[in-house]
C-alpha cells in the first residue's frame, strides 16, 4: 500500500459516519484478546482477527493475503522448537463508522533464540457483517534501532 493510498484510506475513514462511543474500546479489546490467543497457542481465534480480504505489507516481504498470514501464524504457534510471544503497545485508535485505524507497535519475543523484534505499524480494521472487527489492511516494519 503506497503512502497516497494510505492517506486516502485515512481521509475516507475520517469522513465516514461517526463511531459509537465504545468502538475504540472494542477495537483495543479485540487486539488484546488476539494477543492472549496467540500467546496461549490458540490458532483458530488468531486467524479470525484477519478479514478474508486482508492485504498486509511488511517491509521486505511485500504484500500478502489472508491465507499466507494465517498459515504463517499457525506454523509459528505450532513450532515445537520455538516459543513466540507478542506484546502490543497501542498508541492510538481512530474510529469512524465501520472502519478503524490503529497506530501501534508489536514487540515479538522469540525463545530460545532470545530474539526481540519491534514492529511499529498501522492496522486498519473493518466491522464485518457478523459485527466483529477484523484487520483488512496493515503496514508493518521492523524498527531500525
- Provide DSSP, 48-72: HTEEEEEEEEETTTEEEEHHHHHHH
- Provide DSSP, 70-90: HHHHHHHHH-TT-EEEEEEEE
Contact call for residues 128 and 119 (beta carbons, < 8 A): no
Listed by start position, the domains of the chain span 3-140
Joined grid coordinates for residue 52: 478474508
Q: What is the pTM of this model?
A: 0.83
Q: Which of 8-12, 43-47, 131-135 has the highest average model confidence (pLDDT)? A: 131-135
> pLDDT (tens digit, 9 = 90+) per residue, 66-103?
999 999 999 999 999 999 999 999 999 999 999 999 99
> pLDDT (tens digit, 9 = 90+) per residue, 101-116?
999 999 999 999 999 9
Contacts of 73 (CB under 8 A, 6+ apart): 38, 43, 46, 47
Helices (H), the chain: 3-15, 23-40, 43-48, 66-78
Fold of 3-140: Nuclear Transport Factor 2; Chain: A, (3.10.450)
Amino acid at each position: 500500500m503506497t503512502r497516497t493510498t494510505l492517506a486516502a484510506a485515512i481521509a475516507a475513514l475520517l469522513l465516514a459516519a461517526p463511531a459509537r462511543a465504545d468502538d475504540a474500546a472494542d477495537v483495543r479489546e479485540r487486539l488484546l484478546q488476539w494477543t492472549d490467543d496467540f500467546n496461549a497457542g490458540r490458532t483458530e481465534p488468531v486467524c479470525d482477527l484477519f478479514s478474508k480480504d486482508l492485504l498486509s505489507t511488511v517491509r521486505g516481504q511485500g504484500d500478502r493475503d489472508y491465507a499466507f498470514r494465517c498459515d504463517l501464524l499457525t506454523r509459528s504457534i505450532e513450532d515445537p522448537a520455538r516459543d513466540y510471544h507478542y506484546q502490543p503497545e497501542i498508541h492510538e485508535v481512530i474510529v469512524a463508522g465501520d472502519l478503524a485505524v490503529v497506530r501501534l507497535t508489536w514487540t515479538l519475543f522469540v525463545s530460545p533464540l532470545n530474539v526481540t523484534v519491534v514492529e511499529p505499524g498501522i492496522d486498519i480494521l473493518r466491522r464485518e457483517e457478523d459485527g466483529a472487527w477484523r484487520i483488512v489492511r496493515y503496514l508493518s516494519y521492523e524498527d531500525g534501532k
